[in-house]
Amino acid sequence: MKILGIETSCDETGMAIFDSERGLLGHVLHSQTETHQDYGGVVPELASRDHIRFFTPLLREVMSQTGCQPKDIQAIAFTAGPGLLGALLVGAAAARSLAWSWDIPAIAVHHLEGHLMAPLLEDPAPEFPFIALLASGGHTQLIEVSNFGRYRLLGETLDDAAGEAFDKTAKLLGLGYPGGPELAKLAKQGKVGRFQFPRPMTDRPGLDFSFSGLKTFAVNTLHSHGGQSADLQTRADIANAFQLAVVDTLLIKCMRALKQTGLKRLVIAGGVSANQLLRQKVSDYCLQTDTQVFYPRHEFCTDNGAMIAFAGYLRLQHGTPPEPLKISARARWPLQDCSSMG
């Protein structure tokens, strides 16, 4: 069977077609970076408008790229939450209506379940059970995944998400949006060890995170070294120390979660999983401890339609009932509630 996946939860419109026999047939993406760049962050109303504008052209593109006709598609999976409500509603309304007109089921997909399942599109794919670190712009969570749809939250951020901390610190350093990749680029020119940032919440037990203090630490460090007139080298040194602190903190908590559960399989997903230093440090640790580690391919770390098509396919396989004839989306939706969907 073929499933069309549609992602519109934030600032990327993504579409993909997944085939149960042949795997992923194709995917397309429109990133709204240019739309939001001047504002230094996502403007929800502009995001919704862009999703409307790009929905039909992207649909045409993914159908022609994969050589599919409407009659070839057996279900439509769409991101039903969590995310920006207006953006979600565009996807939900368009996907639900399309499914109605093509007379096929519409499947509501949890955005974070999409991220969690993205590494399963790779070869080799992780087997269950595994520990997942989900680090994106909106979430930072450690989850014990015992099977598809069986999620136990082990820890999460008490304030900013890791990606959000990257974005805010990048903005402070005068970098563009989204800040994660920009900050990582600048950090490469930085001197290791000039600044020493804390590793928040690692000196006490538990698996929760807190990243807002790191951003404040960056603000104070910049202010005491010239503020907005600080030279490029100082900014790069701050970026370097900040990135290392986030990566170390994430790694320490992953190590703790693996030890606590006795599991030897780790999945790193969400936008921050694109970070090269994180991958390098996590992979080194896993090699030393005989732990298997899995990441999505680079383009599927951040938001995309492929992970939604795939998670929708898994939902269908596990008997999750299709959406009724109504349009609904959820800005807030705990991942654990997914288990009760089918």
Contact predicate 42/83, CB 8 Å: no
List 5, 178, 190, 200, residue binding ligand KG4 (CB under 6 A) = 178
Strand partners, 266: 131, 293
Choice between 44 and 181, CB closer to ligand KG4? 181
Q: Does 12 bind Zn ion (CB under 5 A)?
A: no
How far is residue 176's CA from residue 167's CA, in Å, rounded to a whole number?
9
Strand partners, 265: 292
Burial degree of 259 (CB within 10 A; 0-12, 13-18, 19+): exposed
Sign of CA dihedral 62, 83, 115, 301: positive
Residue 99's binding partner out of Zn ion, ligand KG4, none, with CB under 5 to 8 Å set by partner kind: none
Q: Does 157 bind ligand KG4 (CB under 6 A)?
A: no
Phi and psi at residue 15, to the nearest 5°: -140, 150
Q: Does 187 bind ligand KG4 (CB under 6 A)?
A: no
Site mask for ligand KG4 (CB under 6 A), range 291-330, x = bound: -----------xx---------------------------
Residue 305's binding partner out of Zn ion, ligand KG4, none, with CB under 5 to 8 Å set by partner kind: none
Letter for the amino acid at 237?
Answer: D
Map tokens 């709204």 to a residue. 32
How far is residue 133's CA from residue 141's CA, in Å, rounded to a whole number?
6
Q: Does 114 bind ligand KG4 (CB under 6 A)?
A: no
List 136, 169, 304, 320, residue binding Zn ion (CB under 5 A) = 136
Per CB under 6 A, which region of 70-78, 124-132, 164-172, 315-323 contacts ligand KG4?
A: 164-172
DSSP state of 145: E
Q: Does 44 bind ligand KG4 (CB under 6 A)?
A: no
How far is residue 251's CA from residue 239's CA, in Å, rounded to a whole number?
18
Choice between 90 and 274, CB closer to ligand KG4? 274
Q: Does 179 bind ligand KG4 (CB under 6 A)?
A: yes
Sign of CA dihedral 159, 164, 170, 174: negative
Q: Does 271 bind ligand KG4 (CB under 6 A)?
A: yes
Q: Does 250 bind ligand KG4 (CB under 6 A)?
A: no
Q: Which of 234, 173, 162 is nearest to 200 (CA)?
A: 162
**Residues 267-306 within binding reach of Zn ion (CB under 5 A):** 303
Task: Give the interface with Zn ion as residue ranges (CB under 5 A).
Answer: 136, 303
Task: Give the interface with ligand KG4 as residue ranges (CB under 6 A).
Answer: 10, 136-138, 163-164, 166-167, 178-181, 184, 270-272, 274-275, 302-303
